[in-house]
């Protein structure tokens, strides 16, 4: 005599897993109140610019990098160019003051590569996020 095997429907098993995925409680995050302390620009060559930014209240390195990119994007437009490419950024924090040292290439025509930044679009994002430019 053959014994019957009872198989639980997969749907019921999946339903139990979904019930365990209740939404998490919201994480209390510190208010982001950055203080942008200034930008210095150094033209290294006709198409190479070095941006130095200083700020307080950054949440992390990404805030400092965004400040440098906003300054570089505005500078690109001021020079009559349309595009920039990020080459490198060094960031340091000491006693709550963050410093960024970023280098970008700037050009009128879209350069080759995957990390090309449209200066006008970048500036629009900076305005929307209330990040100052040059």
Helix ranges, 31-98 (H): 61-78
| Model confidence pLDDT, tens digit, residues 98-115 | 999 999 999 999 988 888
Token representation of residue 96: 């709550």
Residue entry with tokens 């629009």: 124
Residue 69 has which token pair?
């990119």
Please state the rounded mean pLDDT for residues 16-28. 48
The pTM assigned to this predicted structure is 0.76
Mean of the pLDDT values across residues 107-132?
Answer: 93
């Amino acid at each position: 005599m053959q014994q019957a095997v009872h198989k639980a429907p997969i749907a019921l098993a999946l339903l139990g897993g979904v019930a365990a995925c209740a939404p998490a409680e919201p994480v209390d995050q510190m208010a982001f109140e950055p203080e942008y302390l200034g930008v210095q620009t150094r033209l290294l060559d006709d198409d190479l610019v070095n941006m130095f930014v200083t700020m307080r209240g950054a949440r992390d390195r990404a805030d400092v990098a965004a400040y440098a990119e906003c300054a570089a994007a505005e500078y690109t437009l001021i020079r009559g160019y349309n595009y920039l490419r990020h080459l490198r950024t060094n960031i340091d924090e000491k006693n709550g003051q963050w410093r960024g040292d970023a280098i970008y290439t700037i050009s009128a025509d879209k350069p080759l590569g995957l990390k090309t930044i449209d200066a006008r679009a970048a500036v629009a994002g900076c305005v929307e996020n209330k990040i100052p430019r040059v």
